[in-house]
């Protein structure tokens, strides 16, 4: 089954979810249609399995962010979490694109997306609130904006064929840290 999941990510990256066919996936996996249908009833079922897997990885980010102070140690904590977020995004980029395309028309995928993104945003909002946000900053709105910004940043970098390297992640981290944790100097 792992071969099929990995092959689907390759095919989704090359062709996009909508243009991908089961035949393409089994060719990349070097397996048979029978093997595919042993594990999945169709391409949508395979996508749901990948979304579930990606959701588990994203959910792990919830517990991956410790307290963030306004000092260098807080920046390092946030930078480590940004790196984990980035790794997950890059690993599951083809799935995330398909997930985003289908979230409005598929209630199950919509619920999974809401749970995954909501959990990450809730954790970040709790860290912002605990640090004492700057005046005029709502921790929940700020956290949702950060998640959206990091997601869109990765999309734009991918589109421009530019890497999300250490310089890029350091920049994102510094922007978020200064904007949300600057009043927490400790």
Measuring CA to CA, which residue among 145, 162, 169 is closest to residue 80? 169
Q: How high does pLDDT run on average in the chain?
A: 88
pLDDT tens digits for range 13-49: 899 888 999 999 999 999 999 999 999 999 989 988 8
CATH classification of 45-181 is 1.10.357.10, yes or no? Answer: yes
Rounded distance between C-alpha atoms, residue 26 and residue 65, angstroms: 38
Encoding tokens for residue 7?
Answer: 């092959």
Query: What is the CATH architecture assignment of 1-40?
Result: Orthogonal Bundle (1.10)
C-beta of residue 20 within 8 angstroms of C-beta of residue 3: no
Helix, strand, or coil here: 14? Answer: helix
CA 140, distance to chain mean position in Å, is 18
CA distances from 63 to 32, 100, 178, 185 (A): 39, 24, 22, 23
Measuring CA to CA, which residue among 115, 102, 94, 131 is closest to residue 13? 94
| Residue ranges of domains in the chain | 1-40, 45-181
Q: What is the pTM of this model?
A: 0.80
pLDDT tens digits for range 112-170: 766 766 778 888 999 999 998 888 999 999 999 998 899 899 989 988 989 999 999 99
Note the helical H segments in 160-182.
166-181
């Amino acid at each position: 089954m792992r071969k099929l999941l990995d092959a689907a990510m390759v095919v989704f990256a090359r062709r996009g979810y909508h243009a991908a066919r089961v035949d393409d996936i089994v060719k990349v996996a070097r397996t048979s249609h029978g093997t595919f249908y042993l594990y999945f009833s169709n391409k949508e079922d395979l996508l749901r399995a990948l979304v579930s897997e990606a959701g588990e990885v994203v959910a792990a980010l919830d517990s991956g962010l410790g307290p963030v102070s306004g000092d260098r140690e807080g920046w390092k904590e946030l930078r480590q979490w940004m790196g984990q977020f980035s790794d997950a995004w890059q690993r599951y980029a083809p799935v995330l694109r398909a997930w985003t395309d289908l979230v409005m028309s598929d209630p199950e995928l919509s619920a999974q997306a809401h749970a995954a993104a909501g959990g990450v945003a809730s954790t970040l909002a709790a860290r912002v609130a605990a640090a004492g946000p700057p005046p005029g900053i709502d921790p929940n709105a700020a956290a949702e904006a950060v998640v959206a910004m990091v997601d869109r940043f990765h999309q734009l970098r991918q589109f421009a064929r530019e890497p999300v390297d250490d310089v890029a992640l350091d920049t994102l981290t510094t922007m978020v840290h200064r904007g949300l944790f600057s009043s927490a100097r400790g």
